[in-house]
Amino acid sequence: MSLKTGQEYLDSVKSLDLNAHILGKKTGELSGHRLVEPSRRAVAFTYDCAHHPGTRELFCVESSLSHDVANRFTHIHQSTEDLVNKVKMQRYCGIHTACCFQRCVGLDAANAIFSTTFECDRKHGTAYHQRFRDYWRWIQQEDLVVDGAMTDPKGDREKRPKDQADPDLYLRIKERRSGGVVIRGAKLHQTGMLNSHEILIMPTLTLRTGEEDWAICCAVPTHEKGVHHIYGRQASDTRKLEKSPGDVGNPAFGGQEVMTVFEDVFVPNERIFMIGETDFSGILVERFASYHRQSYGGCKVGVGDVLIGATALIARMNGVSKASHVQDKIVEMIHLNETIYACGIACSATGEKSPAGNFQVNLLLANVCKLNVTRFPYELARLATDISGGLLGTLPSSAEMEDPVAGPYIRKYLAASPDSQTVDRIKVLRLIENLVAGAGSVGYLIESMHGAGAPMAQRIMIGRQADLEGKMARVRSLLEIG
């Protein structure tokens, strides 16, 4: 077994023949597609890091399943140190790609399924855990990208899955056969799906007795028959298709989301890790969500680092970096960004061993982490906008640079600090625009709000995990109230 390089990864997904629909067109070959390429490069970065001398140590682990080397992005966490290192690795990738690198969802799904199947087997006598170990050992050995698929469309939010006008609005078992099941439904907001080899499907909420048909956890290849991917638009996405690529902002990397439809997809038994055990659906959701809320304590911090660096750079280029209010705002950006990081680290360092042997994050602190992620990136974006100046919203197109009249005027009038070039100033502004109001803002702002659950989901978990009764009991005791 050997870990893939970035190029080997790119080759491996080149051969996948996905059913993708992009901007109204069916598109089979995605490797040359300029809307998809940047997001593939971001995934490839996670492969290359396992080979570079400076990062190899952080990105390579010994697999607990095969005792062979594995990429940490496929690791079953063996210690709190592993949890901490996951966050560090994510921050590192965020800093270097300035976008979502998409490979965490599968990692978080795997660790959640690993421990949940163990406990499910213990209670119900099922045999999911070994089956999952086998499946995941294969993933590690092939060094694949796996997308975790949780969010169902949900239809009318006031109704349960079985009460929806259309039962498919929550992905469900349509038919049970001897060798497997047929599923139907859709999963929304699937980041990285077009760059993945495999999909781990999980239920989206705590199911109740009578809702067994929606309690399905299984693996499906991304190119399986019946699987359709519909591209989700991002702000300014088509700038990637323009002749002058200068307006994209992030010249190399990007994120991507799709809506994935499962139209009567057959799943063989060996790829099923839960079927009908509604009592473990909530546990699975909660664990996956908490791992993923931890993840944001790394990746979004890394993107935040980029935004901070770009803001400090534009301040310098604008000639205002010595102004005390500018320095103060940059310190505030750092402070907020590091507060998120502290939460990512803390929920890892106080993690605990599960009965299955892998390590779980501290559920309370992971949710606290994510709730801060739904707030602070917005304030970072606001402060970056403040320091960048109005040009952030009124910058001419890079296409103008070729215009014989407009080009020279832009060079002349957008010159700022003598130490920097106008074209570089424009590049930095476009990067900031990408993150606060462009394609990158989908990952940095909207996903920070909704990824791994909207804020209310975290608040509910925080309320549950905080031992409020215990706090009240201690007050009673202090005050000698009976």
Name the minimum Å distance from CB 55 to its own copies.
14
Residue number, 127 or 241, with CB nearest to its own copies: 241
For 245, what's the count of Cα atoms within 13 Å in the CB-facing half-sphere? 9
Of 61 and 365, the one with the shorter C-beta distance to its own copies is 365
Q: Nearest to residue 301, comparing CAs of 387, 377, 363? A: 377
The CB-of-245 to its own copies minimum distance in angstroms stands at 12
| Minimum distance from residue 274 beta carbon to its own copies (Å) | 23
Phi (first) and psi of residue 25, to 5 degrees: -125, 140
| Cα distance between residue 80 and residue 126, in whole Å | 29
Handedness of CA 35, 40, 45, 48 (dihedral sign): negative
| Minimum CB distance to its own copies smaller for 143 or for 152 | 152
Closest CB to its own copies among residues 5, 339: 339
Q: Label residue 51 exposed, middle or buried (CB < 10 Å: 0-12, 13-18, 19+).
A: middle
How far from the centroid of its chain's Cα atoms is residue 311's Cα? 24
| Residues catalogued as catalytic | 100, 104, 191, 257, 292, 296, 299, 447
Least distance CB 104 / its own copies (angstroms): 16
Q: Pick from 261, 263, 159, 264: which is nearest to 205 by CA?
A: 159
CA dihedral 155, 157, 160, 161 (to 10 degrees): 20
442 and 235 in contact (C-beta within 8 Å)? yes
Measured CA distances, 80 to 74, 306, 343 (Å) = 16, 27, 14
Instruction: Give the nearest distance from C-beta 268 to its own copies in angstroms.
Output: 25
Instruction: Give least dist CB 143 to its own copies, A.
Output: 25
First to last CA, the chain: 65
Spatial distance between the Cα atoms of 144 and 51, rounded to a whole number of angstroms: 16
Q: Which is nearer to its own copies, 111 or 367 (CB)?
A: 367
Tokens (6 digits) for 432: 């900031």
3-state secondary structure of 205: coil
Q: How far is the CB of 228 from its own copies (least distance, A)?
A: 6
Report the SS3 class of residue 36.
coil
Cβ closest to its own copies, residue 141 vs residue 422 = 422
Q: Which residues contact 13 (CB under 8 A, 6 or more apart)?
A: 30, 31, 40, 145, 195, 196, 197
Q: Measured from the CB atom, is 80 or 117 closer to its own copies?
A: 80
CA R_g for the chain: 23
